[in-house]
């Protein structure tokens, strides 16, 4: 992120905060007209109440309100703890730049702040800045080996570089810290999928679905693995548990097409069109393309609509939904 962008972002944040402070000051002036200036104890109490209100909002999942409270607290007192909370809340509402700025403020004050490094690493990973992410996450692990999200993120980075053994080590380390995380189990299966061990990947995804039947990513990944094994009807059966049947047929049909099984692809896509209660645009386009291929037409796979593919649950990893 360049410096000019950061400054613009900070100006926007600070402008909003100044407006809030101004409005609050006017209201306070009206309410305390004629009273004396607050003491430091009063301010400390005010900051504490504001932070508590933000935490309360964050626990309710209202991260926007939580961010507002944290920013008010920051107006009163710029502390490392408040900056960290601003970073976390910004991450939750998808304001990666703000989160990175907040984390950088924390790290300016405390360069050994493991959580800030972790948050910064996850945000960089979400933004695609792999090197920065790896640096922050590695620092995090170095500072605090028990940061399971950092292990998870490092595992994802290792998968991206094809170092599946390292990825597996990170996932296992994370799993040792947080053994009940379906995300970690799912990511382990994904890593095995990437490494080509489809049987073990299927077992991993299946185990996740056994432990957490509502965990859709595992069902999806399991269905994709089945489709990659050309077990198309089994794949449809799996995918239909977490998506409508027409989409399941369409996605599996797409994979069949990519694998060269044109007849199967046509059958699956035609079934997707048939079972869809409404006009299924993607399935119809895919079906036309497959039929054109079957009739000797030119290969133009790009026209096909990309279905949902197997993927690690990065968003969940970044969100830190498991504490």
Partner 1 sequence: MRADTATSPAPRGPSWPARFRRRRLAVAVTVGVALLTAIAATRLVEPSYRAVARLALDGKTLSVDQDVANASAHVATELQARHERVLVAARQASAISPRQSERVQTRVTDVAVDPVSERGVPLLSASFEVSIDAADAREASQATTLLLDLYLEDDERAHSAPPVPPAELVAVRAEASRLASLLAGSQAELADLEREHGPLGSMDDPGGQLTALANQARTLAAQIDDLQARRVELDRGLRDMQRGASEYRSNPGMPLTSEALSALQAQWTVLRTRNGSDAATVRELGAMIEGLQATADAKFGAAAAELATAVAEYARLEQVYPLDHPDVVRQAHTVSALESRLESLRVRGLTSGDRAYVEGLARERSQIDGRLEVLRERRESLSLQIAEQQAQATRAPEIRQRRAELQREYAELLAAQQTALEQQQLLEARFDAVLEQRPGRIATPSPLEVHRVLMSRPDVILALGLIAGVVAAFLTVAVRERVDARISGTESIRRMQGHLPLAEIPRIRTA
For residues 166 and 160, give the distance between their C-alpha atoms in angstroms, rounded to a whole number: 11
Name the residue nearer to partner 1 (CB basis): 223 or 312.
Answer: 223
Q: How far is the CB of 228 from partner 1 (least distance, A)?
A: 12
Q: Which is nearer to partner 1, 263 or 315 (CB)?
A: 263
Alpha-carbon distances of 130 from 63, 123, 157, 300, rounded to whole Å: 26, 10, 7, 32
- Shortest separation between residue 175's beta carbon and partner 1, angstroms: 20
Q: What is the CA radius of gyration of the chain?
A: 25
**Quick one: 14 or 206, whose CB is closer to partner 1?**
206
- For the bound state, the minimum distance from the C-beta of residue 202 to partner 1, rounded and expressed in Å, comes to 3
**CB nearer partner 1, residue 141 or residue 225:** 225
Instruction: Please check whether residue 253 is in contact with residue 280, taking contact to mean a CB–CB distance below 8 angstroms.
Output: no
We find the least distance from the C-beta atom of residue 146 to partner 1, in angstroms, to be: 32
Burial 211-249 (b: 16+ CB within 10 A, else e): ebeebbbbbbbbbbbbbbeebbebbbebbbebbebbbbb
Are 148 and 183 in contact, with CB atoms under 8 Å apart?
no
Task: Classify residue 298 by its DSSP letter.
Answer: P
Please say which residue, 223 or 253, places its beta carbon nearer to partner 1. 223
Query: What's the min distance (Å) between Cβ of 224 and partner 1?
Result: 13
Angle of the 216-228 helix axis to the 232-239 helix axis, nearest 10: 170
| Interface positions with partner 1 (CB under 8 A) | 199, 202-203, 205-206, 222, 225-226, 229, 231, 234
We find the least distance from the C-beta atom of residue 172 to partner 1, in angstroms, to be 21
């Amino acid at each position: 992120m360049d410096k000019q962008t950061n400054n613009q972002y900070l100006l926007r944040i600070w402008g909003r905060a100044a407006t809030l402070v101004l409005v609050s000051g006017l209201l306070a002036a009206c309410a305390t007209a004629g009273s004396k200036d607050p003491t430091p104890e009063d301010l400390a109490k005010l900051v504490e109440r504001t932070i508590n209100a933000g935490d309360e909002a964050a626990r309710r999942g209202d991260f926007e309100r939580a961010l507002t409270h944290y920013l008010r607290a920051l107006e009163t007192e710029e502390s490392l703890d408040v900056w960290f909370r601003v970073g976390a809340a910004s991450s939750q509402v998808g304001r990666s730049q703000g989160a990175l700025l907040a984390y950088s403020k924390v790290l300016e004050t405390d360069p050994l702040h493991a959580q800030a490094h972790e948050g910064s690493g996850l945000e960089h990973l979400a933004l695609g800045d792999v090197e920065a992410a790896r640096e922050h996450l590695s620092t995090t692990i170095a500072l605090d080996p028990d940061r399971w999200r950092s292990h998870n993120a490092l595992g994802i980075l290792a998968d991206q570089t094809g170092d599946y053994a390292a990825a597996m080590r990170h996932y296992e380390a994370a799993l040792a810290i947080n053994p009940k995380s379906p995300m970690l189990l799912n990511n382990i299966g994904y890593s095995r999928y990437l490494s080509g061990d489809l049987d073990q990947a299927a077992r991993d995804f299946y185990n996740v679905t056994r432990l957490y039947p509502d965990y859709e990513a595992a069902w999806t990944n399991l269905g994709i693995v089945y489709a990659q094994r050309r077990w198309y009807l089994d794949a449809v059966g799996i995918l239909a548990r977490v998506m409508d049947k027409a989409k399941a047929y369409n996605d599996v049909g797409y994979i069949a097409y990519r694998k060269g099984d044109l007849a199967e692809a046509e059958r699956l896509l035609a079934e997707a069109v048939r079972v869809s209660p409404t006009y299924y645009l993607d399935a119809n386009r895919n079906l036309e393309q497959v039929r054109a291929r079957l009739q000797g037409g030119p290969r133009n796979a790009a026209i096909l609509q990309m279905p949902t593919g197997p993927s690690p649950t990065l968003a969940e990893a970044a969100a830190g939904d498991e504490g």
